[in-house]
Structure 1
Amino acid sequence: MEVLTVEKKAKYQRIINILALTIPIAVAAILGIREKVELGSWTKVLPHVIGVINSLTAVFLVLGFIFIKQKKRNAHRTMMMAAFLLGAVFLVCYILYHISNESTPYGGVGSIRYIYYFLLISHILLSIVVVWFVLRSVYFGYTNQLSEHRKATKWALPIWLYVSVSGVIVYLMISPYYQ
């Protein structure tokens, strides 16, 4: 029976590793398509929806952290699953917006421009990295491997929280330039 458990763990680790590589590569490939798809004017609201999603994700992450510190496991699990599901909705909205709309150039000048690009680049790079940590955290939490869950969340939570908050800041900085 022990061999089966080890095999199952290895199988899920492979799936997590494949997803953690495939998701960013697929998103980059989709975004690299130059020809835009006409989905309608409703897609113009998606950056605002994405801003709300990032805001809610940050709130849910903080609440999930507070709840686990208070030993409220069910509330913690609810908040973290809500944040995880919002991540999936974010990904769909992000792709829909970028396949149907041209990128909006940032119009700020001076030192604020450097701050914007620092936040944007760090946000993008860490959003790629965090996928692996989040998938592992969810898997370990869901399978009640709490020691491994704690190890994964030690990295996942701060990176995911940074990605969510920096996403909101980047959105607020570029939103005046949306057409």
Structure 2
Amino acid sequence: MSNQENISNDKKYDKLIVVLSIAIPLAVAALFGIKVDYELPVFLPPIYACVNAITAFVLVFAFIAIQNKKRKLHECLMTFAIVLSVLFLLMYIAYHITSDSTKFGGDGVEKYIYYFVLITHIVMSIAVIPFVLITYVRAITNNIEKHKKIAKITFPLWLYVAITGVVVYMMISPYY
């Protein structure tokens, strides 16, 4: 496939990437304003924190796979990472529309660290959406050179989001 065909194939997905990159954060924000009169068990947050931890491991294994030229394994792992991220998002939304948010109870330096990690996690989780989508599209359209370029940005962002999701949970878990 020529470079021009790759670019043309990428362009087909541009509108969908923009729509999803805007719609997902807006939907999550809007859903925080909705409360369903059904409280999900408190064990859901540790489950979605584990999903974040697994996502981090999968991302690292996918990176190792591609470094070792195991492209098919890399593709499978990256698809799995996307599925895990969607699963996390669905559980996160389900929990937060049915349960009150837990307030962080620490103080002093711990409080500042928690809010720094939380805020950077939230900002990066929004910012990583278009990066993941663009990176994935460039892979499925076989635009490998551009895929490699953006993956160098996407990988550390996504890994940061996955790891800090676990850190945020660990820091707030005593207050559930």
Under a length normalisation based on structure 2, what TM-score does the superposition of the two structures give? Answer: 0.93
* Counterpart for residue 38 of structure 1: 37
Structure 1 gap ranges (5+): none
Give the match's secondary structure for 1:121.
helix
Deviations along 1:87-130, one digit per CA (max 9) or x if unpaired, are 10011001001000000000111101000000000000000000
User: Once superposed, which parts of structure 1, at least 4 consecutive aligned residues long, lie more than 4 Å away?
Assistant: 2-8
1:39 CA drift (Å): 3.2
| Pair 1:106–1:61, CA change in 2 (3 A) | same
How does 1:22-171 map onto structure 2 within 5 Å? 22-33=23-34, 36-42=35-41, 44-171=42-169
Q: Distance in 2 between matches of 1:123 and 1:173?
A: 13
Q: CA RMSD in A?
A: 1.7
1:18 counterpart = 2:19: yes
Query: Quick one: which amino acid aligns to residue 15 of structure 1?
Result: L
In structure 1, distance between residues paired with 2:7 and 2:143: 13
Q: What is the aligned length? A: 174
CA separation in 2, counterparts of 1:54 and 1:62? 13
Q: CA deviation at 1:8?
A: 4.6
TM-score by length of 1: 0.91
Checking the alignment, whether the CA contact within 8 Å between 2:121 and 2:164 is kept in structure 1 is yes
Distance across 2 between alignment mates of 1:78 and 1:110: 44
Native 8 Å contact 2:125 2:158 kept in 1: yes
* 8 A contact 2:6–2:143 mirrored in 1: no
Deviations 1:130-166 (A, max 9, x none): 0000011111112211011112211110000000001
2:105 aligned counterpart, secondary structure: coil
Percent same amino acid at aligned positions?
A: 45
2:65 & 2:8 partners in 1: Cα distance? 33
Where relative contact order (Cα < 8 A, 6+ residues apart) is larger, the structure is 2
User: Over residues 3-22 of structure 1, what are the superposed CA-to-partner deviations in whole Å (9 max), with x where a residue is unaligned?
Assistant: 98765532311111111111
After superposition, the Cα gap between the structure-2 partners of 1:11 and 1:140, relative to the gap in structure 1 and judged at 3 Å, is same
Structure 1 residues 30 and 7: alpha-carbon distance in aligned structure 2, compared to 1, 3 A threshold: same
- What amino acid maps onto 2:38 in structure 1? L
1:46, distance to aligned residue in structure 2 (A)? 1.5
Name the aligned partner's letter for residue 38 of structure 1.
D
Going from structure 1 to structure 2, the CA distance change for 1:139 and 1:101 (only over 3 Å counts) comes to same
